[in-house]
Amino acid sequence: MKIVVTGAKGQLGQDVVKLLGPKHEIYGLSRDQLDITNEADCLQVITDINPDVIIHSAAYTAVDLAETNEDIAFRINGDGTKYLTLAAERVGAKFVYISTDYVFDGTATRSYKEDDVTNPQSVYGKSKQAGEIHVQAISSKHFIVRTSWVYGVHGQNFVKTMLHLAKTRDSLKVVNDQLGSPTYTVDLVTFLEQLIQTEHYGVYHASNSGVCTWYDFACAIFEESGVTIHVEPCTTEEFPRPARRPRNSSMEHGAILANGFEDLRVWREGLRAFLKEYQG
């Protein structure tokens, strides 16, 4: 299978290229090789490669900076996704759009389903929603994959930050009133590989199974790493950020189960696998 991966130097993109590379014909494209905000460039590059699948993991992901860089966020996450989708449709490629839990407002008292109404509260969330809308409007063969709390061996993420802070501090405060599901990049890629070999198009929620708070996650990181540090729970209000975070971004995996895919493993098992890879 011939697969184009955008954002090939990003946290997720690097693992997509690494894990799918031995089995498929992979074209990992960074921003130097493909300017997704240039419609002509998208059409030229995608037409030349003529892939079977495009996994679009390139994105503007600086959640807080997006609040003051709205034009850039929408140009990359909205327009860029539109141009890539148009190019994919031109060559008849399946299109995988990596989206986010931030398309929800986080006020639900249960886990979000794939067909729940989106209501993003941040610029980042709104720009990713714009991408979803373009994909649904243009692509006849699309998978929208919403994920959450992503971490892996590449790039910066919460797990690496916690491990780094533990080297210089005796105690930490971590938010304990935001619910979600951590997602290990390797487990997400394993699911994506299953997905692209089918025609079960639509919206999917794909995160490691189970729900926790950031405080729970931090405690698990230290326990699994054998690190001794005092972790104190705090509220969102005690740790203000420019962009609003969803208080509850847990997501049901209804589409995964309904279409016969193997669900992603429990988040703590994914964490153990990551730490073995990262620290080993």
The catalytic residues are 124
Distance CA 75, CA 59 (A): 10
Distance CA 237, CA 175 (A): 9
Length of the chain: 280
- Asked if 211 and 111 touch (Cβ cutoff 8 Å), the reply is yes
What is the signed CA dihedral for 242, 248, 249, 253, rounded to 10 degrees? 180
Q: How far apart are CA 5 and CA 19, in angstroms?
A: 12
Rounded Cα gap, residues 121 and 241, in angstroms:
13
Sign of CA dihedral 154, 158, 164, 166: negative
Structure tokens at 277: 């890879």
The b/e string for 175-197 (b: 16+ C-beta within 10 A; e otherwise) is: bbbbbbbbbbbbbbbbbbbebbe
- Helical (H) or strand (E) element with 73: helix 70-74
